[in-house]
Amino acid sequence: MIIDDKALLKLKLVHYFITKENFVPIIIHGIEDEIWLENKHSEYRIIRIVTKQIFNEEQLEFDIAKAKDISKQIKRKTFNPFMSILSIYLNIGEDIKEYVLNDKNSIIIENETDLENNEIIKKYYKGIVDDLNYKEEGIELLAKMTSDITKKNIEENERFNDMFKQKKPIITGILILINVIVFALMYIIGKGSEDTNTLVSFGANIPSLVRSGEYYRLISSGFLHIGIIHILCNMYSLSVLGPSIEHFYGKAKYLLIYFYSMIIASLFVMVFQNDYSVSAGASGAIFGLLGSLLYFGYYYRGYVGNQIIGQIIPVIIINLVIGFISPGISNAAHIGGLIGGIAVSFMLGINDKSEKSNRITGTILTVILTGFMIYLAFFR
């Protein structure tokens, strides 16, 4: 079987970028004779392999304009205005090669020798030359590359399915149980959840007492609720959000996100509320889970589109608006929890998604946020 050289070169490039560089295909309707691949951690976020023949400047300008339009749509949907895209042209006329070569985001690869000599390939994807040295030929080579690509896609899908498959939300159940038990104890051994003295004795967040050394209130206040409506609303929210975070991040990271968000929410209360105000509730930690889910949705938008992001942002905005217009609701805790949840999720990272440099950046931001809030709460 004789395979067209251009078709074989295209398949070799796709094979390399998918199996070696962990790119994944982007499905774009209405596009022919080109392949779009994405890797969020590559120097070039998008690799575009163009196989159609381009003979003149008008065709090239049209192609570039079309690619820019699609790129804008991807940037808008992924909330990434600085995304870099590399176009690889496999079949382009001699008269217009100079136009392409002057564009730092476009290269011409007409054969394997071009790969060896291209500066961008040598700088960022130097392993591709060795990867193209196959022992197989003809139909055997075609079968091998097709099999490798299929296997890689199956592995990616299995990892995705494992991430999203249902698991028993043990930690969420324990957190809800603790909240319910504490709420019941406030009536059994205290005078009820709406009694100020009971709230104080059970560990409500009172900034003046925390500053005097009762630091445990930063956490204990997150397990107290004022009235049956308060606990019902928060436990319902926790039962909806908690299992998702527990599944996506794992139990240990889930606990870190929950308690860190709770602490940051309590610190925000200390900074922005009266020194003698009494505050309680799990809403700060729950807003942290919202922030964490928002961060997760950003990383997995390739699978779930922007559904998670599109659904969470309105919920956050609506709850903040309600907090601003309703007395007795601490928006300081909500905002603090949200910021804390995003920051600590950035630090912990998404399994198999977040690269080390992102986690280091997230760690630095989390440390700065923690130190800044401690300073404002205790030393200003």
Burial class (CB in 10 A: 0-12, 13-18, 19+), 276: exposed
- Long-range contacts of the stretch 274-279 (C-beta < 8 A, 24+): 274/207, 275/206, 275/207, 275/208, 275/211, 276/206, 276/207, 276/208, 277/206, 277/207, 278/196, 278/199, 278/200, 278/204, 278/205, 278/206, 279/204, 279/205, 279/206, 279/221, 279/330, 279/333
Tokens (6 digits) for 134 = 């196959």
- CA dist list (Å): 79 to 71, 82, 87: 12, 9, 21
Q: Are 75 and 83 in contact (CB under 8 A)?
A: yes
Active site residues: 283, 334
143 burial via Cβ count (<10 Å: 0-12, 13-18, 19+): exposed
